Amino acid sequence: MSDVLCPRCGEEESLVGRREGPPGDETITVTCGSCDLEWVRDLTPRCPACGSDAVRPALQSIVEKSRGTQLSIQSLRVVHLCPDCDAGQLAIWNRSNTPLRPAELPHNAD
C-alpha cells in the first residue's frame, strides 16, 4: 500500500509531487492524475502502526555484503520510532545512541 493516496478518489498510482520552498521549509504539492485534485502533503512523521505523531528520530544502519559473508555499513537512514509501538527499539537507541541494526540483512541470491 502507498503512503500517499488521493483524499477525493483514493488513487494511489497516478500521483505527481512537486517540491517547493527552501530546504528545511519545503512543501510537496501532490496532483492526482485521475481527478486533478491538488493538495499539500503533510510531511509530519507518523507511526505507521498507530498513526501517532509523537515519534522520535533515530538512525538505522544499511548494510551490504562487502566480502564473502562480511557485512559492512554502507549508509545510515533516519527512522521515526513510536514510544508505544517501537518501545524496545527506542530503548536500545536511547541507551546506546549508536545506529540501530537493519530490519533485514542481505542474503545470497542463489
Closest CA to 56 of 82, 37, 38, 34: 82
Query: In Å, what is the CA distance from 62 to each residue of 8, 56, 75, 80?
Result: 37, 19, 5, 15
Mean pLDDT confidence for 4-8: 91
**What per-residue confidence (pLDDT) applies to 110?**
46
What pTM was computed for the model? 0.67
The answer on pLDDT for 107 being more than 70 is no
pLDDT in tens, 18-69: 999 988 889 999 999 999 999 999 888 999 899 999 999 999 998 887 777 7
**What per-residue confidence (pLDDT) applies to 87?**
96
Query: In Å, what is the CA distance from 74 to each residue of 21, 57, 65, 66, 99?
Result: 30, 19, 9, 9, 12
**What per-residue confidence (pLDDT) applies to 105?**
76
Closest CA to 59 of 84, 76, 45: 76
Rounded percentage of the chain residues whose pLDDT exceeds 70: 95
Mean pLDDT of the chain: 88
